[in-house]
Amino acid sequence: MAKYQKIPEATIRRLSSYLKCLAELEGKDEKVVSSTQIAEICNVNAAQVRKDFAYFGEFGIRGMGYNVKQLKFNIKEILGINRIWHIAVVGIGNLGSALLVYKDFLKQNYQIVAAFDKDPVTVIGRISERMGKPVEILHVDRLKEVVKARNIEIGIITVPPQEAQKVANLLIDANIKGILNLSPVPVKTPPSVKLRNIFFTSALDSLVYYLSN
For its own copies, the binding residues in 98-157 under the rule CB under 8 A are 98-99, 101-105, 108, 110, 126, 130, 153-154
Q: Rule CB under 8 A: is residue 174 a binding residue for its own copies? A: no
Torsion of CA 204, 207, 210, 213, to 10 degrees: -20
Which stretch, 61-69, 138-146, 164-172, 198-206, contacts its own copies (CB under 8 A)? 198-206
Q: Rule CB under 8 A: is residue 47 a binding residue for its own copies? A: no
Q: Which residues in 20-39 contact its own copies (CB under 8 A)? A: 20-21, 24
Q: CB 56 → its own copies: shortest distance, Å? A: 12
HSE (CB half, 13 Å, CA atoms) of 42? 26
Residues 142 and 90 sit within 8 Å (Cβ to Cβ): no
Buried b (16+ CB within 10 A) or exposed e, 34-54: bbebbbebbebeeebbbebbe
Q: Which is nearer to its own copies, 99 or 140 (CB)?
A: 99
Which stretch, 10-18, 49-57, 139-147, 165-173, contacts its own copies (CB under 8 A)? 10-18
Residues 21 and 38 sit within 8 Å (Cβ to Cβ): yes
| Binding-residue total with its own copies (CB under 8 A) | 71
Out of 54, 121, 149, 204, which residue is the one contacting its own copies (CB under 8 A)?
Answer: 204
Q: What is the rounded distance in angstroms from the CA atom of residue 153 to the CA atom of residue 86?
A: 6
Q: Which is nearer to its own copies, 107 or 141 (CB)?
A: 107
Q: Which is nearer to its own copies, 149 or 204 (CB)?
A: 204
Q: CB 73 → its own copies: shortest distance, Å? A: 15
Q: What is the rounded distance in angstroms from the CA atom of residue 201 to the CA atom of residue 125?
A: 30
Q: Rule CB under 8 A: is residue 210 a binding residue for its own copies? A: yes
- Cα angle value 186/5/68 (rounded, 5°): 95
Q: Which residues in 63-92 contact its own copies (CB under 8 A)? A: 78-81, 85, 87
Q: What is the rounded distance in angstroms from the CA atom of residue 88 to the CA atom of residue 85?
A: 10
